[in-house]
Amino acid sequence: MSAAKRSGESYPPFAVTVDLAVFTIHEGTLAVLLVQRGDDPFAGHWALPGGFVGIAEDAASAAWRELAEETGLERFSGHLEQLATYSAPDRDPRMRVVSVAHVAFAPGLARSGPTAGSDAAAARWWPVEDLGLDADAPGEGSVDLAFDHADILRDALERVRSKIEYTTLAAQFADEPFTLADLRRVYAAVWGAAPDLGNFRRKVLSTPGFVVATEGRDEGDGRLGRPALLYRRGPATTLQPAMLRPDGPPAG
Amino acid sequence: MSAAKRSGESYPPFAVTVDLAVFTIHEGTLAVLLVQRGDDPFAGHWALPGGFVGIAEDAASAAWRELAEETGLERFSGHLEQLATYSAPDRDPRMRVVSVAHVAFAPGLARSGPTAGSDAAAARWWPVEDLGLDADAPGEGSVDLAFDHADILRDALERVRSKIEYTTLAAQFADEPFTLADLRRVYAAVWGAAPDLGNFRRKVLSTPGFVVATEGRDEGDGRLGRPALLYRRGPATTLQPAMLRPDGPPAG
DNA sequence: GCAAAAGTGTTAAGGTTACACCCATGG
DNA sequence: CCATGGGTGTAACCTTAACACTTTTGC
């Protein structure tokens, strides 16, 4: 190894890809973008969107490029970050592929339709609860994903769930301007349980720069009840102390 | 892109390496293992140990293998985890290399000498404070590391510093059996500031499974004062709520 | 007025901070 | 008996959890 590194000898060639777990909130539930594979291996199975890293770009650039292609959005306004790298030797039967997985999320992606610029056979937003990721036994009632994408998606989900605990990224899921109830629904969708209303407002409003108030009120057409104040995302990035999930983070 | 993926066309070939940021506590300070490069590029510069990922192994296996080779230890008893992947196109002038960086730490590594099984030109433990990582301007008083290893090391340091906040991994830095003062010195070395004595003990002892008491006492030879009780690592992995650093985590 | 949704208050419990203080041991 | 390090106690403060309650709107 270092011998090869020092002398510039031959080294094993790899393909390097990025895979994307793109989340959005659609009709109150957390949804992830999946594409259906046309060819073997795993023909017909659903998979995370992704593609090869080009010879002159880094993984982050490749991820941004794929994101634009798959979502059909020129300017993706949300958040993208590296998750982890998956490198099991048998993860792709055709060749030796190392995948740098990324997590992305943004508001309202599901509205414009995912297939706009996608070159996949089919693409759709799946509510994560319909994927049966928590079930230990795959098969019944669950979608079995291609390659190791179920592992990646599980890790991505946990990343998102924990990240909104100690950062302000939840606001990235909300369409601007948003009400505090909208923001709370983001937490409810991602965590599966809503934080206490009163404590939630206090937390958000007492964190400087989490949200900034606007002049407007939520004057919906047929909506009931008192109109809520509208907010935009503020400059703050971290929450301290963290917002706690109603049931707490998983052990381990 | 996905066209290539679907049809099995040609793809850009990459070299994939692992780089290791291996930490230990040596004489009360946090130290990292670096190797001195013998050849260009960056001949004479210090670098993180690492090597190519083999064609039949995953990145974690490669990291464990390198760890054993570089530290000369057959059974590495500490902790190893993936950090992130670094993939800038120009990070290695010779070829297109993607590196999956890992973080490792264990107690007492510096005692046995790092060069035992290493194939590097030279290897030594560097106190992290001597590396000048915090300085924005490299050069004066700081070691300039090869490739993007200063970036990797900065990220690795922040990972370790934050990880001991909410996990019991600090105990992985301590030789068993250890006193609570030993464990507190781990936090002091990693954070650069010691947590309050009384609060620290209460926190550790009130977290079930962080440490387990032993029968023994610390009966040193020429040591002064009251002998401390000795503990071993317990089965717990997470701390909740987290142990807070004296000055708090960095913003951003 | 009534239902619905937004927004405010209140109190008990528990954790943290920042100390001061006491205990055991070697010289 | 004194220095040294180990170990305990405590009061002010802050945050959270879990509610009950009030306000504003549309019908």
Beta carbon of A227 within 7 Å of strand D? yes
Is A12 part of the contact surface with chain B (CB cutoff 8 Å)?
A: yes
Measure in Å the smallest separation between the Cα of A14 and chain B Cα atoms: 5
Angle, in degrees to the nearest 10, between helices A197-206 and A180-191: 110
Which residues 71-130 of A are in CB contact (within 8 Å) with B?
82, 84-85, 87-89, 94-96, 98, 100, 119-120
Q: Closest residue of B to A61, CA-based?
A: B88
pLDDT of residue B108: 78
Residue A85 and residue B88: Cβ atoms within 8 Å? no
For residues A123 and B76, which has the higher predicted lDDT (pLDDT)? A123
Tokens matching residue B77: 């008893």
Top mean pLDDT of A184-188, B35-39, B118-122 is at A184-188
Domain architecture of chain A: domains with CATH: 12-165 (3.90.79.10), 167-233 (1.10.10.10)
DSSP state of B14: B
As given in the structure block, the two tokens for residue A111 are 């509205």
Amino acid at A172: Q
Sign of CA dihedral A132, A138, A142, A143: positive
pLDDT digits (tens, 9 = 90+) for A94-150: 999 999 999 999 887 766 665 544 555 688 899 999 998 876 555 556 788 999 999
Residues from chain B that touch A250, judged by Cβ atoms under 8 A, are none
pLDDT for the residue B118? 52
Question: Does pLDDT of A50 surpass 80?
Answer: yes
B222 touches strand D (CB under 7 A): no
Structure letter (DSSP) for residue A121: S
CA distance B40 to B139: 19
Q: What is the pLDDT of residues A196-246, one digit of tens each?
A: 999 999 999 999 999 999 988 887 667 788 899 999 999 999 998 889 888
In angstroms, the CA of B199 and the C1' of D9 are apart by 12
Under 8 Å between Cβ of A217 and A151: no
pLDDT at B35: 93
pLDDT band of A169, cuts 50, 70, 90: very high
Mean pLDDT, residues A17-35 taken together: 93
* DSSP assignment letter at B88: -
Distance CA A134, CA B170 (A): 31
**In the block, which residue shows the tokens 């296996």?**
B61
Question: Degrees (nearest 5) of the Cα angle A179, A183, A184?
Answer: 110
Contacts of B241 in chain A (CB under 8 A): 241
Percent of chain A with pLDDT over 70: 85
* Residue-wise pLDDT tens digits, B156-201: 999 999 999 999 999 999 998 999 999 999 999 999 999 999 999 9
Question: What is the Cα gyration radius of chain B?
Answer: 20
Is the minimum distance from the CB of B226 to strand D below 7 Å?
yes
B197 CB below 7 A from strand D atoms = yes
Point out the residue among A8, A58, A88 whose CB comes nearest to the CB of B94: A8
Cβ neighbours for B71, distance < 8 A, ≥ 6 positions apart: B22, B33, B109, B114, B116, B117, B118
Whether B238 shows a pLDDT value over 60: the answer reads yes
Distance from CA of A101 to the nearest CA of B (A): 10
B96 touches B90 (CB < 8 A): no
In this predicted structure, what is the pLDDT of residue B107?
Answer: 86
pLDDT recorded at residue A38? 86
User: Which has the minimum average pLDDT: B36-40, B203-207, B222-226?
Assistant: B222-226
Query: In Å, what is the CA distance from B96 to each residue of A66, A100, B12, B151?
Result: 20, 15, 9, 18
Q: List b or e across A174-193, with b for residues whose CB sees 16 or more CB atoms inside 10 angstroms.
A: beebbbbebbbbbbbbbbee
Tokens 């009384």 locate to B198
> With bands split at pLDDT 50, 70 and 90, how would you rate the model's confidence at B222?
confident
Is the pLDDT at A1 greater than 60, yes or no? no
> Is residue B190 within 8 Å of B162, Cβ to Cβ?
no
For nucleotide D2, the protein residue with its alpha carbon nearest to C1' is: B225
Q: Are A214 and A237 in contact (CB under 8 A)?
A: no
Pick out the nucleotide with least CA–C1' distance to B217.
D6
Contact call for B12 and A241, based on CB within 8 A? no
Q: Is residue B241's pLDDT more than 90? A: no
Among A5, A12, A16, whose Cβ lies nearest the Cβ of B54? Answer: A12
The residues, ordered by sequence, that sit 6+ positions from A187 with a Cβ below 8 Å of its Cβ are A164, A170, A194, A195, A200, A243
Instruction: Using a pLDDT cut of 90, give the percent of chain B over it.
Output: 62
Nucleotides of C under 7 A from a protein CB: 3-10, 15-20, 23-27
State the average pLDDT over residues A171-198: 93
Q: Is a pLDDT exceeding 50 seen at residue B213?
A: yes
Distance B79 CA to D3 C1' (A): 39
Q: Encode pLDDT of B106-115 as tens digits.
A: 887 767 665 5
Nucleic acid strand D within 7 Å of A248 CB: no
Question: In which band, very low, low, confident or very high, does the pLDDT at B6 lie, cut at 50, 70 and 90?
Answer: very low
Q: Which protein residue's Cα is closest to nucleotide D27 at C1'?
A: A224
